[in-house]
Amino acid sequence: MSSPAEIEAFILGFEERVAPVEKAVKEAWWKLATTGTEEARAELVRAGMEYNRLFEDGYEKVRGWYEERDALESPLLRRQVEVLYRTFAGRQGDEETLDRIEELEARANAIYGNHRGVVRDEAVGENEIREILRLSDDGSLRREAWEASKTVGREVEETVRELARLRNRLAREAGYPDHFHRALDLQEIDAGELERIMSELESATAAPFRELKDDLDAKLEARFGAKAVMPWHLSDPFFQEPPEDAALDVDRHFRDRDLRELTRRTYDSLGLDVRGVMAKSDLYGRDGKNQHAFCLSVGREYPYDVRVLANIRPDAYWMNTMLHEFGHAVYDRHVNPRLPYFLRTIAHTCTTEAIALMMGSLSEEPGWLRTFAGVSDLDGDEERLAARRRADGLVFTRWALVVFNFERELYADPDRDDLNELWWELVGRLQLVNQPPGRDEPDWAAKIHVAVAPVYYHNYVLGHLISAQLRNHLEKHVTHGPFYENEVAGRYLIESFFGPGARENWRDTVLRATESR
């Protein structure tokens, strides 16, 4: 075993090499997402490959330290060794495979970014499709829009399969059964425990979801005069959210509003300043730009360079999304800058999703709507909003179970020729959505996460659970009232949740911040 001083020296030297390349990768990612050009794509691939090269040497040494980490007295050094080990382990493999994965992921990203479905002979983006599915009463238009939302699947299917095969190759070389198991292990998640949580959620939600779906179906059948509810009668391409309650027009609260201003005011109230992030962000849609929303932290130098990409429209969906992405942003912004480089980051994807989900959900909360959006005519909507929140949770959980189960099977055998059927079997069983008769399309590949954010969806599920636990703790023990109206909540989050960064295992952060132990 090397001495702590030797390990520290290695880490410092490594940080110097990693920092500029890591930053270049993030810059390239931003460039690609905001321009969609071929040049940006090539730069992202180049930077990604350069980044991977950094992990070619030193793995054996780092693994040795990791295996004997208990002998290290400093908890901070021990944690750095753990984080470093996982970072190295995630990038081991032959150069050819690693490079090919880099290339394919960039290609997939470009396809999702540039693809436009066709509705009534016109190329449409995801915002237009979402709008049709949310609002239109025209059944045949809805069907066209839904089908258009899936056409990207065919274009990207082979890329996704090849990515799965290559990821599996790397996983098996490292002694895992497949990429699914390797990815979970490298995310410090116990596959068996996650499996248990997911199957418990499946059985706990089965009956209430069926009841909800029956109720929805009755309403949708009446609305569309349909004998059976088909996927295009639902209000988004994958049934990730419950359809609009016609009596509850949440969009009306945002129609003439500046969503940036509402976002700023919400975070101001928590004592969390988002002006710096906003100034660096790219918030409105245009051609060639990535159609989704995300938050990106570029480099780890203080002051942190954090940016949000969005495609704002003045509606409830984008209000939720803005609050969500800026939740990620305030977390990134408030990681203690005095932490060592490799710990100067979020504790875990599920902890940052927890914050983002807790913030995003405010957009449908009566108290927030009154205080921040100045809504005075909520009368009667409280109950509907509460029902909506409950429906949101149920519908999302069932959808997340589809992705979770599908990916596990995909990685168990990416070459099976019945993936299309498997997808619809899961959608039918878990979401109770009818498969259009005779449909045999790679609809699973139309979901961007399956291609470029593999084995990720459970983080949203864990994020929901953590978010509920954290909010409960905040309001019971810290603010004694709505957390979003109180600067003390912001200070508490900075100290207990954001500040510690990756200094400890994410479970410890959650348990400590919610005092659940």
Alpha-carbon distance of 517 to 508, in angstroms, equals 9
CB atoms within 10 A of CB 227: 7
Considering beta carbons, is residue 236 or 443 the nearer one to Zn ion? 236
- Cβ 328 to Zn ion shortest distance, Å: 6
Residue identified by tokens 């996704």 is 160
- Cβ 321 to Zn ion shortest distance, Å: 9
320: closest CA among 268, 232, 254?
254
- Cβ 360 to Zn ion shortest distance, Å: 8
Considering beta carbons, is residue 278 or 356 the nearer one to Zn ion? 356
- Cβ 456 to Zn ion shortest distance, Å: 10
Tell me which residues in 48-67 interact with Zn ion (CB under 5 A).
none
Question: Phi and psi dihedrals of 124, rounded to 5?
Answer: -130, 150
Residues in binding contact with Zn ion, number by CB under 5 A:
1
- Cβ 241 to Zn ion shortest distance, Å: 15
Please, what sign has the CA dihedral across residues 180, 465, 383, 267? negative
Considering beta carbons, is residue 353 or 504 the nearer one to Zn ion? 353
- Cβ 420 to Zn ion shortest distance, Å: 28
Which among 281-289, 356-364, 474-482, 491-499 is the span making contact with Zn ion, rule CB under 5 A? 356-364
- Cβ 515 to Zn ion shortest distance, Å: 25
Considering beta carbons, is residue 26 or 41 the nearer one to Zn ion? 26
Considering beta carbons, is residue 106 or 356 the nearer one to Zn ion? 356
Alpha-carbon distance of 185 to 461, in angstroms, equals 17
Which among 245-253, 354-362, 437-445, 492-500 is the span making contact with Zn ion, rule CB under 5 A? 354-362
Contact (Cβ atoms closer than 8 angstroms) between residue 58 and residue 89: no
Examine residue 356 and tell whether it contacts Zn ion (CB under 5 A): yes
Q: Is the peptide bond before 437 cis (omega within 30 degrees of 0)?
A: no
Considering beta carbons, is residue 331 or 368 the nearer one to Zn ion? 331
Considering beta carbons, is residue 403 or 426 the nearer one to Zn ion? 403
Question: Phi and psi dihedrals of 298, rounded to 5?
Answer: -100, 105
Examine residue 448 and tell whether it contacts Zn ion (CB under 5 A): no
- For helices 381-412 and 179-186, give the axis angle rounded to 10 degrees: 120
Alpha-carbon distance of 471 to 479, in angstroms, equals 10
DSSP secondary-structure letter at 261? H
Distances (CA, A) of 228 to 143, 391, 419, 427: 13, 21, 25, 16
Q: Mask of contacts with Zn ion, 303-342, x by CB under 5 A?
A: ----------------------------------------
Tell me which residues in 149-168 interact with Zn ion (CB under 5 A).
none
CB atoms within 10 A of CB 266: 25
- Cβ 26 to Zn ion shortest distance, Å: 17
- Cβ 295 to Zn ion shortest distance, Å: 7
The residue at minimum Cβ distance from Zn ion is 356
Encoded amino acid at 296, one letter: L
Examine residue 502 and tell whether it contacts Zn ion (CB under 5 A): no
Residue identified by tokens 């969500």 is 324
Q: Mask of contacts with Zn ion, 224-263, x by CB under 5 A?
A: ----------------------------------------
Alpha-carbon distance of 305 to 333, in angstroms, equals 8
Contact (Cβ atoms closer than 8 angstroms) between residue 108 and residue 163: yes
Which among 171-179, 247-255, 350-358, 380-388 is the span making contact with Zn ion, rule CB under 5 A? 350-358
Considering beta carbons, is residue 356 or 426 the nearer one to Zn ion? 356
Considering beta carbons, is residue 350 or 489 the nearer one to Zn ion? 350
Considering beta carbons, is residue 212 or 356 the nearer one to Zn ion? 356
Contact (Cβ atoms closer than 8 angstroms) between residue 308 and residue 267: no
- Could you tell me the two tokens for 250? 């949440």
Distances (CA, A) of 251 to 37, 248, 257, 277, 395: 33, 9, 10, 26, 20
- Cβ 460 to Zn ion shortest distance, Å: 8
Binding site for Zn ion (CB under 5 A): 356
